[in-house]
Amino acid sequence: MWQTVLDRVLRGFITRGTLRVTFPDGTARTYGDATKPEAHITLHDPALMARLVHSPEMAFGEGYMDGTLTVDEGGLEGAMRIAIRCAASGSLPLLQQIQDWAGYLLRPILQRNSVRSARRNVAHHYDLSDDFYRLMLDPDMQYSCAYFQQPWMTLEQAQAAKKAHIARKLCLEPGMRVLDIGCGWGGLALTLARDHGVHVTGLTLSRNQHRTATARVQQAGLTDRIDVRLMDYRQMQDQFDRIVSVGMLEHVGAPQLRTYFDRVAALLKPDGVALIHSIGRNGPPTGQSPWLNKYIFPGGYVPSLEEIVRPVARTGLWFLDVESLRLHYALTLRAWRDRFETNLDQVRAMYDDRFIRMWRFYLTACILVFEERDQTVFQLQLGHRRDAAPLTRDYLYQPDQDMRDAAE
Protein backbone atom coordinates (compact mmCIF):
# COMPACT_ATOMS: atom_id res chain seq x y z
CA MET A 1 0.00 0.00 0.00
CA TRP A 2 2.65 2.54 1.01
CA GLN A 3 4.60 1.97 -2.18
CA THR A 4 1.52 2.90 -4.18
CA VAL A 5 0.92 6.00 -2.08
CA LEU A 6 4.58 7.08 -2.27
CA ASP A 7 4.57 6.53 -6.03
CA ARG A 8 1.58 8.85 -6.33
CA VAL A 9 3.25 11.47 -4.13
CA LEU A 10 6.48 11.36 -6.15
CA ARG A 11 4.61 11.68 -9.44
CA GLY A 12 3.08 14.91 -8.15
CA PHE A 13 6.21 16.23 -6.48
CA ILE A 14 9.10 15.48 -8.86
CA THR A 15 8.29 17.86 -11.71
CA ARG A 16 11.83 19.06 -12.51
CA GLY A 17 14.93 16.99 -13.17
CA THR A 18 14.99 13.20 -13.34
CA LEU A 19 14.82 11.00 -10.27
CA ARG A 20 14.97 7.21 -10.51
CA VAL A 21 13.76 5.36 -7.42
CA THR A 22 14.32 1.70 -6.68
CA PHE A 23 11.80 0.47 -4.12
CA PRO A 24 12.49 -2.21 -1.47
CA ASP A 25 10.88 -4.95 -3.61
CA GLY A 26 13.27 -4.16 -6.49
CA THR A 27 10.73 -2.23 -8.57
CA ALA A 28 12.24 0.87 -10.21
CA ARG A 29 10.39 3.94 -11.46
CA THR A 30 11.51 7.23 -12.97
CA TYR A 31 9.98 10.61 -12.12
CA GLY A 32 10.35 14.12 -13.49
CA ASP A 33 10.60 15.79 -16.90
CA ALA A 34 13.64 13.88 -18.26
CA THR A 35 15.93 16.91 -17.81
CA LYS A 36 19.02 17.35 -15.66
CA PRO A 37 19.96 17.03 -12.88
CA GLU A 38 19.61 13.26 -12.73
CA ALA A 39 19.84 11.04 -9.66
CA HIS A 40 19.05 7.51 -8.55
CA ILE A 41 18.08 6.58 -4.99
CA THR A 42 17.38 3.15 -3.54
CA LEU A 43 15.01 2.49 -0.63
CA HIS A 44 16.06 -0.54 1.41
CA ASP A 45 13.48 -0.55 4.21
CA PRO A 46 9.72 -0.92 3.50
CA ALA A 47 8.96 1.12 6.65
CA LEU A 48 10.76 4.12 5.15
CA MET A 49 8.08 4.53 2.47
CA ALA A 50 5.38 5.43 5.00
CA ARG A 51 7.73 7.88 6.69
CA LEU A 52 8.53 9.53 3.34
CA VAL A 53 4.82 10.06 2.79
CA HIS A 54 4.14 11.45 6.27
CA SER A 55 7.29 13.55 6.74
CA PRO A 56 9.33 13.72 3.50
CA GLU A 57 12.18 15.99 4.61
CA MET A 58 12.79 14.29 7.95
CA ALA A 59 12.48 10.79 6.47
CA PHE A 60 14.86 11.55 3.60
CA GLY A 61 17.50 12.91 5.95
CA GLU A 62 17.14 10.15 8.53
CA GLY A 63 16.97 7.45 5.85
CA TYR A 64 20.24 8.68 4.36
CA MET A 65 21.86 8.88 7.81
CA ASP A 66 20.72 5.36 8.75
CA GLY A 67 21.62 3.80 5.40
CA THR A 68 18.03 2.74 4.65
CA LEU A 69 18.17 5.17 1.70
CA THR A 70 21.24 5.19 -0.51
CA VAL A 71 22.12 7.44 -3.42
CA ASP A 72 23.71 6.05 -6.57
CA GLU A 73 24.09 7.93 -9.85
CA GLY A 74 23.92 11.70 -9.44
CA GLY A 75 25.12 11.59 -5.84
CA LEU A 76 23.53 13.15 -2.79
CA GLU A 77 23.80 16.66 -4.19
CA GLY A 78 21.96 15.70 -7.38
CA ALA A 79 19.09 14.06 -5.50
CA MET A 80 18.78 16.94 -3.06
CA ARG A 81 18.95 19.56 -5.81
CA ILE A 82 16.04 17.88 -7.58
CA ALA A 83 13.99 17.84 -4.37
CA ILE A 84 14.80 21.45 -3.49
CA ARG A 85 14.00 22.73 -7.00
CA CYS A 86 10.71 20.87 -6.99
CA ALA A 87 9.82 22.24 -3.56
CA ALA A 88 10.65 25.76 -4.75
CA SER A 89 8.35 25.31 -7.76
CA GLY A 90 5.36 24.85 -5.45
CA SER A 91 4.83 21.11 -5.85
CA LEU A 92 5.57 20.33 -2.19
CA PRO A 93 3.45 17.42 -0.89
CA LEU A 94 0.43 18.53 1.14
CA LEU A 95 1.59 16.86 4.35
CA GLN A 96 4.94 18.63 4.14
CA GLN A 97 3.14 21.95 3.59
CA ILE A 98 1.03 21.32 6.68
CA GLN A 99 4.10 20.43 8.74
CA ASP A 100 5.93 23.53 7.53
CA TRP A 101 2.98 25.72 8.43
CA ALA A 102 2.66 24.07 11.85
CA GLY A 103 6.36 24.64 12.48
CA TYR A 104 5.92 28.30 11.59
CA LEU A 105 2.95 28.71 13.96
CA LEU A 106 4.75 26.89 16.79
CA ARG A 107 7.84 29.11 16.68
CA PRO A 108 7.04 30.80 20.03
CA ILE A 109 7.30 27.35 21.66
CA LEU A 110 9.95 25.64 19.55
CA GLN A 111 12.32 28.64 19.56
CA ARG A 112 11.69 30.18 22.98
CA ASN A 113 15.44 29.85 23.71
CA SER A 114 15.68 30.79 27.37
CA VAL A 115 19.17 31.37 28.76
CA ARG A 116 19.23 27.75 29.94
CA SER A 117 17.97 26.18 26.72
CA ALA A 118 20.23 28.44 24.63
CA ARG A 119 23.27 26.99 26.45
CA ARG A 120 22.02 23.47 25.77
CA ASN A 121 21.37 24.22 22.09
CA VAL A 122 24.80 25.73 21.59
CA ALA A 123 26.48 22.75 23.28
CA HIS A 124 24.70 20.36 20.88
CA HIS A 125 26.58 21.78 17.89
CA TYR A 126 29.60 23.77 19.03
CA ASP A 127 30.86 21.49 21.77
CA LEU A 128 31.87 18.80 19.31
CA SER A 129 35.60 18.16 19.20
CA ASP A 130 37.64 21.21 18.20
CA ASP A 131 39.88 18.78 16.33
CA PHE A 132 36.93 17.90 14.13
CA TYR A 133 36.27 21.53 13.26
CA ARG A 134 39.96 22.08 12.53
CA LEU A 135 39.72 19.46 9.77
CA MET A 136 37.05 21.52 7.99
CA LEU A 137 37.68 25.18 8.76
CA ASP A 138 40.54 27.57 8.01
CA PRO A 139 43.35 27.84 10.63
CA ASP A 140 41.61 30.84 12.25
CA MET A 141 38.51 28.63 12.74
CA GLN A 142 36.08 31.04 11.13
CA TYR A 143 32.73 29.19 11.14
CA SER A 144 30.70 31.74 9.19
CA CYS A 145 30.32 33.03 5.65
CA ALA A 146 33.58 34.12 4.01
CA TYR A 147 33.87 37.07 1.62
CA PHE A 148 35.08 36.06 -1.84
CA GLN A 149 36.13 39.37 -3.36
CA GLN A 150 37.75 37.43 -6.20
CA PRO A 151 36.83 33.96 -7.48
CA TRP A 152 40.43 32.76 -7.15
CA MET A 153 40.55 33.31 -3.41
CA THR A 154 41.27 30.40 -1.11
CA LEU A 155 39.10 29.84 1.96
CA GLU A 156 41.84 31.37 4.12
CA GLN A 157 42.00 34.48 1.93
CA ALA A 158 38.23 34.87 1.80
CA GLN A 159 37.91 34.57 5.58
CA ALA A 160 40.63 37.19 6.04
CA ALA A 161 38.76 39.42 3.58
CA LYS A 162 35.54 38.90 5.58
CA LYS A 163 37.19 40.08 8.79
CA ALA A 164 38.71 43.08 7.02
CA HIS A 165 35.32 44.00 5.51
CA ILE A 166 33.67 43.82 8.93
CA ALA A 167 36.44 45.85 10.54
CA ARG A 168 35.97 48.65 8.00
CA LYS A 169 32.21 48.69 8.64
CA LEU A 170 32.88 49.04 12.37
CA CYS A 171 34.87 52.26 11.74
CA LEU A 172 37.35 51.33 14.47
CA GLU A 173 39.75 53.61 16.30
CA PRO A 174 42.51 52.49 18.71
CA GLY A 175 41.36 52.18 22.30
CA MET A 176 37.71 51.59 21.49
CA ARG A 177 35.77 48.98 23.46
CA VAL A 178 34.15 46.33 21.24
CA LEU A 179 31.57 43.72 22.22
CA ASP A 180 31.70 40.52 20.14
CA ILE A 181 28.39 38.67 20.65
CA GLY A 182 28.94 35.03 19.75
CA CYS A 183 32.72 35.24 19.46
CA GLY A 184 33.24 31.59 18.50
CA TRP A 185 36.86 30.44 18.79
CA GLY A 186 38.05 34.03 19.08
CA GLY A 187 39.43 34.63 15.59
CA LEU A 188 37.66 37.94 14.94
CA ALA A 189 38.43 39.25 18.43
CA LEU A 190 42.11 38.44 17.95
CA THR A 191 42.18 40.21 14.57
CA LEU A 192 40.42 43.34 15.83
CA ALA A 193 42.59 43.65 18.95
CA ARG A 194 45.88 42.86 17.20
CA ASP A 195 45.39 44.82 13.97
CA HIS A 196 43.22 47.73 15.16
CA GLY A 197 44.29 48.31 18.77
CA VAL A 198 40.83 47.93 20.29
CA HIS A 199 39.72 46.18 23.48
CA VAL A 200 37.32 43.27 22.83
CA THR A 201 34.89 41.53 25.14
CA GLY A 202 33.82 38.26 23.53
CA LEU A 203 30.73 36.31 24.56
CA THR A 204 30.06 32.63 23.89
CA LEU A 205 27.85 29.91 25.38
CA SER A 206 30.08 27.07 24.18
CA ARG A 207 32.47 25.71 26.80
CA ASN A 208 34.75 24.34 24.07
CA GLN A 209 34.88 27.66 22.26
CA HIS A 210 35.45 29.57 25.49
CA ARG A 211 38.34 27.30 26.45
CA THR A 212 39.95 27.47 23.00
CA ALA A 213 39.44 31.22 22.56
CA THR A 214 40.91 31.93 26.00
CA ALA A 215 43.96 29.81 25.21
CA ARG A 216 44.44 31.56 21.86
CA VAL A 217 44.28 34.98 23.54
CA GLN A 218 46.93 33.92 26.05
CA GLN A 219 49.15 32.48 23.32
CA ALA A 220 48.87 35.73 21.35
CA GLY A 221 49.82 37.80 24.41
CA LEU A 222 46.60 39.81 24.18
CA THR A 223 45.06 39.18 27.60
CA ASP A 224 45.19 42.93 28.29
CA ARG A 225 43.01 43.61 25.24
CA ILE A 226 40.63 40.62 25.01
CA ASP A 227 38.27 39.24 27.62
CA VAL A 228 36.36 36.10 26.58
CA ARG A 229 33.35 35.33 28.75
CA LEU A 230 31.06 32.32 29.03
CA MET A 231 27.97 34.51 29.08
CA ASP A 232 24.60 35.02 27.40
CA TYR A 233 24.25 38.36 25.63
CA ARG A 234 21.11 39.04 27.70
CA GLN A 235 23.24 39.10 30.86
CA MET A 236 25.64 41.82 29.68
CA GLN A 237 25.01 45.26 31.22
CA ASP A 238 27.93 47.45 30.10
CA GLN A 239 28.10 49.81 27.12
CA PHE A 240 30.49 49.64 24.16
CA ASP A 241 31.76 51.87 21.37
CA ARG A 242 31.24 49.09 18.83
CA ILE A 243 29.26 45.84 18.73
CA VAL A 244 29.87 43.00 16.29
CA SER A 245 27.92 39.77 16.02
CA VAL A 246 28.83 37.23 13.34
CA GLY A 247 26.71 34.11 12.78
CA MET A 248 24.90 34.45 16.11
CA LEU A 249 21.51 35.92 15.17
CA GLU A 250 20.51 32.60 13.54
CA HIS A 251 20.61 31.01 17.02
CA VAL A 252 18.41 33.61 18.70
CA GLY A 253 15.05 32.27 17.47
CA ALA A 254 12.11 34.29 16.17
CA PRO A 255 10.58 34.97 19.63
CA GLN A 256 13.86 36.54 20.82
CA LEU A 257 14.54 38.86 17.88
CA ARG A 258 13.05 41.87 19.69
CA THR A 259 15.03 41.07 22.85
CA TYR A 260 18.23 40.69 20.83
CA PHE A 261 17.99 44.07 19.11
CA ASP A 262 16.79 45.75 22.30
CA ARG A 263 19.99 44.54 23.97
CA VAL A 264 22.14 45.69 21.03
CA ALA A 265 20.57 49.15 21.30
CA ALA A 266 21.04 49.26 25.08
CA LEU A 267 24.66 48.07 24.97
CA LEU A 268 25.70 50.42 22.15
CA LYS A 269 26.92 53.89 23.09
CA PRO A 270 25.04 56.88 21.60
CA ASP A 271 27.69 57.46 18.94
CA GLY A 272 28.47 53.77 18.43
CA VAL A 273 28.27 51.43 15.42
CA ALA A 274 27.05 47.82 15.40
CA LEU A 275 27.63 45.26 12.65
CA ILE A 276 25.32 42.23 12.59
CA HIS A 277 26.32 39.45 10.15
CA SER A 278 23.66 36.75 9.82
CA ILE A 279 22.10 34.22 7.49
CA GLY A 280 18.72 35.56 6.38
CA ARG A 281 15.89 34.99 3.98
CA ASN A 282 15.31 37.06 0.88
CA GLY A 283 11.64 36.05 0.99
CA PRO A 284 8.81 36.02 3.53
CA PRO A 285 9.08 34.39 6.98
CA THR A 286 8.70 30.63 7.09
CA GLY A 287 9.29 27.65 9.35
CA GLN A 288 12.69 26.14 10.01
CA SER A 289 13.84 22.78 8.63
CA PRO A 290 12.74 20.10 11.16
CA TRP A 291 15.74 17.94 10.25
CA LEU A 292 18.22 20.79 10.86
CA ASN A 293 16.49 21.69 14.12
CA LYS A 294 16.68 18.12 15.39
CA TYR A 295 20.17 17.14 14.33
CA ILE A 296 22.23 20.28 13.72
CA PHE A 297 20.89 23.56 15.16
CA PRO A 298 18.20 23.01 17.81
CA GLY A 299 16.38 26.26 18.49
CA GLY A 300 17.84 27.87 15.37
CA TYR A 301 15.92 30.06 12.96
CA VAL A 302 16.87 31.93 9.79
CA PRO A 303 14.92 35.23 9.84
CA SER A 304 13.66 37.10 6.83
CA LEU A 305 14.72 40.72 6.37
CA GLU A 306 11.11 41.62 7.09
CA GLU A 307 11.37 40.05 10.55
CA ILE A 308 14.60 41.89 11.28
CA VAL A 309 13.43 45.35 10.21
CA ARG A 310 10.50 45.43 12.63
CA PRO A 311 12.41 44.90 15.92
CA VAL A 312 15.25 47.18 14.77
CA ALA A 313 12.75 49.92 13.97
CA ARG A 314 11.28 49.65 17.48
CA THR A 315 14.69 50.45 19.01
CA GLY A 316 15.09 53.65 17.04
CA LEU A 317 18.42 52.44 15.60
CA TRP A 318 19.34 53.60 12.11
CA PHE A 319 20.11 51.16 9.32
CA LEU A 320 23.39 52.76 8.28
CA ASP A 321 24.04 50.10 5.66
CA VAL A 322 22.50 46.79 4.55
CA GLU A 323 24.47 44.38 2.36
CA SER A 324 23.47 40.99 0.98
CA LEU A 325 26.34 38.51 0.49
CA ARG A 326 24.34 36.21 -1.77
CA LEU A 327 26.40 33.28 -3.07
CA HIS A 328 29.38 33.79 -0.77
CA TYR A 329 28.11 31.24 1.73
CA ALA A 330 27.59 28.59 -0.95
CA LEU A 331 31.27 29.01 -1.88
CA THR A 332 32.26 28.85 1.79
CA LEU A 333 30.24 25.69 2.41
CA ARG A 334 31.69 23.99 -0.66
CA ALA A 335 35.18 24.68 0.69
CA TRP A 336 34.20 23.21 4.06
CA ARG A 337 32.64 20.14 2.47
CA ASP A 338 35.72 19.59 0.29
CA ARG A 339 37.93 19.63 3.37
CA PHE A 340 35.52 17.37 5.25
CA GLU A 341 35.64 14.79 2.45
CA THR A 342 39.42 15.12 2.02
CA ASN A 343 39.93 14.42 5.73
CA LEU A 344 37.32 11.66 5.93
CA ASP A 345 39.72 9.09 7.38
CA GLN A 346 40.49 11.39 10.29
CA VAL A 347 36.78 12.20 10.77
CA ARG A 348 36.02 8.46 10.80
CA ALA A 349 38.56 7.98 13.58
CA MET A 350 36.47 10.38 15.70
CA TYR A 351 32.87 9.59 14.69
CA ASP A 352 30.84 6.75 13.17
CA ASP A 353 29.45 6.48 9.64
CA ARG A 354 26.03 7.76 10.69
CA PHE A 355 27.60 11.00 11.94
CA ILE A 356 29.56 11.30 8.69
CA ARG A 357 26.41 10.91 6.59
CA MET A 358 24.58 13.37 8.85
CA TRP A 359 27.32 15.99 8.41
CA ARG A 360 27.51 15.42 4.66
CA PHE A 361 23.73 15.84 4.42
CA TYR A 362 23.91 19.06 6.47
CA LEU A 363 26.67 20.67 4.40
CA THR A 364 25.05 19.67 1.10
CA ALA A 365 21.60 20.91 2.14
CA CYS A 366 23.06 24.26 3.19
CA ILE A 367 24.96 24.67 -0.08
CA LEU A 368 21.80 24.07 -2.05
CA VAL A 369 19.51 26.43 -0.12
CA PHE A 370 21.95 29.24 -0.92
CA GLU A 371 22.14 28.21 -4.59
CA GLU A 372 18.50 27.27 -5.16
CA ARG A 373 16.31 28.91 -2.50
CA ASP A 374 15.96 32.34 -0.90
CA GLN A 375 18.79 32.24 1.67
CA THR A 376 21.50 34.87 1.77
CA VAL A 377 23.76 36.52 4.32
CA PHE A 378 22.90 40.00 5.56
CA GLN A 379 25.35 42.45 7.04
CA LEU A 380 23.45 45.13 8.94
CA GLN A 381 25.32 48.24 10.03
CA LEU A 382 23.36 49.95 12.81
CA GLY A 383 23.75 53.08 14.93
CA HIS A 384 21.80 55.45 17.17
CA ARG A 385 22.94 58.41 15.07
CA ARG A 386 22.41 58.73 11.32
CA ASP A 387 25.94 60.12 10.96
CA ALA A 388 27.66 57.39 12.99
CA ALA A 389 29.22 56.03 9.76
CA PRO A 390 30.56 57.85 6.66
CA LEU A 391 27.92 59.15 4.26
CA THR A 392 29.12 57.10 1.28
CA ARG A 393 30.37 53.51 0.94
CA ASP A 394 33.73 54.54 -0.54
CA TYR A 395 35.55 53.75 2.70
CA LEU A 396 34.58 50.06 2.45
CA TYR A 397 36.50 49.32 -0.73
CA GLN A 398 40.28 49.39 -0.85
CA PRO A 399 40.97 46.89 -3.65
CA ASP A 400 44.73 47.30 -3.88
CA GLN A 401 45.28 46.77 -0.16
CA ASP A 402 42.73 43.94 -0.04
CA MET A 403 44.46 42.06 -2.81
CA ARG A 404 47.86 42.46 -1.12
CA ASP A 405 46.42 41.22 2.18
CA ALA A 406 44.73 38.24 0.50
CA ALA A 407 47.91 37.23 -1.30
CA GLU A 408 49.97 37.16 1.90
Catalytic residue among 86, 171, 183, 366, which? 366
Say how far apart CA 42 and CA 69 lie, in whole Å: 6
CA distances from 134 to 141, 157, 158 (A): 7, 16, 17
Say how far apart CA 10 and CA 68 lie, in whole Å: 18
**Polymer length in residues for the chain:** 408
Q: Spell out the residues 6+ positions from residue 8 whose beta carbon is closer than 8 angstroms to its own.
A: none
In 330-388, which ranges are E strands? Answer: 375-383
Q: Which of 315, 179, 176, 317 lies closest to 237 in space, CA to CA? A: 179
Three-class SS of residue 92? coil
**End-to-end CA distance of the chain, in Å?**
62
Is the alpha carbon torsion for 375, 155, 404, 172 positive or negative? positive
Mark 105-136 as b/e (b = at least 16 C-beta within 10 Å): eebeebbebeeeebbebbebbbebeeebbbbb
Query: Is 366 labeled as catalytic in the residue annotation?
Result: yes
Strands of the 18-22 sheet, one edge to the other: 28-32, 18-22, 38-43, 69-71
CB 164 within 8 A of CB 244: no
Rounded to 5 degrees, φ, ψ at 349 are -70, -20
Say how far apart CA 279 and CA 225 lie, in whole Å: 29
CB 202 within 8 A of CB 233: no
Say how far apart CA 260 and CA 16 lie, in whole Å: 40
Residues annotated catalytic, as ranges = 366
